[in-house]
Amino acid sequence: MSKPKVRGKFITFEGLDGCGKSTQLEKLAAVLRVRGIDVVTTREPGGTIIGERIRAVLLDSRTAGLDPHAEMALMFAARAQLIAEVIGPALEAGQWVLCDRFTDSTEAYQGGGRQLGSDAVLQLHQALCRGLWPELTILMDSDVSSSVGRARRRNLAASAETPDENRFEKESYAFFTRVRNAFLETARREPQRVVLVDARPKLEIVHPQIVRVVFERLIEAAGKKGSPA
């Protein structure tokens, strides 16, 4: 009989647009792979063929008049597909999944930014994501003007061939302040899962901090419990 597989670990990265989380996620994945860990990286909204089509609708600045509830439903539709196709099977197979955004983003952007509230988001999560939460969430905190400014410059500089992903970046300073505050509130509510990392220092300074958090929370802790990392 084959040995039962150890379930993999699920880590998410959260933060404002342009906070540097995608780069940090890839750098962490590289460190874990060197340790022999089988890592899958993915992103939200997107990560599957269907999810990427939903992403195009959600982020294209030509998507005018999208109702906030419809926006929230589309975020969850992409997520449910990603869990079914990618996250769930990878964790079952013992792989580690690093995901760029997850339900904390919906709580921050739709719950906080669009003011739909946390309860609706958490209820939908329960129904549609079957209670799946990450073991660890790295919340990269940054001030609104520098991170959103960086995201806007990046997307404006994108070539004509890349899809338009500017819809959220057109939102106001007040919107992103609500988003940031909602993220910080989640970190206060769930300190056992969400670790706040200051995203403002240089990339090379932030990276080792993230590696340390992952090792302390997931690798050393698993060793102490006697289970393999």
* Binding site residues, ligand TYD, CB under 6 A: 17-18, 22, 44-45, 59, 75, 100-101, 105-106, 109-110, 151, 168
Tokens linked to 162 = 């890349």
To ligand TYD, the closest distance from the beta carbon of 15 in angstroms equals 7
Give the pairing of strands 39-43 and 96-100.
parallel
β-sheet with 39-43: strand ranges across = 39-43, 96-100, 10-15, 136-141, 194-198
8 or 18: CB nearest ligand TYD: 18
**Whose CA is closest to 198, among 190, 209, 182?**
209
96 or 102: CB nearest ligand TYD: 102
21 or 207: CB nearest ligand TYD: 21
To ligand TYD, the closest distance from the beta carbon of 90 in angstroms equals 18
Tell me which residue has tokens 């975020």.
75
To ligand TYD, the closest distance from the beta carbon of 224 in angstroms equals 33
Burial bucket for residue 76 (CB in 10 Å: 0-12, 13-18, 19+):
buried
22 or 177: CB nearest ligand TYD: 22
Phi first, then psi, for residue 61 (nearest 5°) are -70, -10
To ligand TYD, the closest distance from the beta carbon of 100 in angstroms equals 5
To ligand TYD, the closest distance from the beta carbon of 2 in angstroms equals 36
Tokens linked to 4 = 């039962």
**Whose CA is closest to 16, among 147, 136, 104, 156?**
147
To ligand TYD, the closest distance from the beta carbon of 149 in angstroms equals 12
4 or 65: CB nearest ligand TYD: 65
CA-to-CA distance for 78 and 99, rounded, in angstroms? 13
37 or 150: CB nearest ligand TYD: 150
Q: For residue 208, what are the contacts with CB-CB under 8 A and spacing of at least 6?
A: none
Q: For residue 80, what are the contacts with CB-CB under 8 A and spacing of at least 6?
A: 128, 129
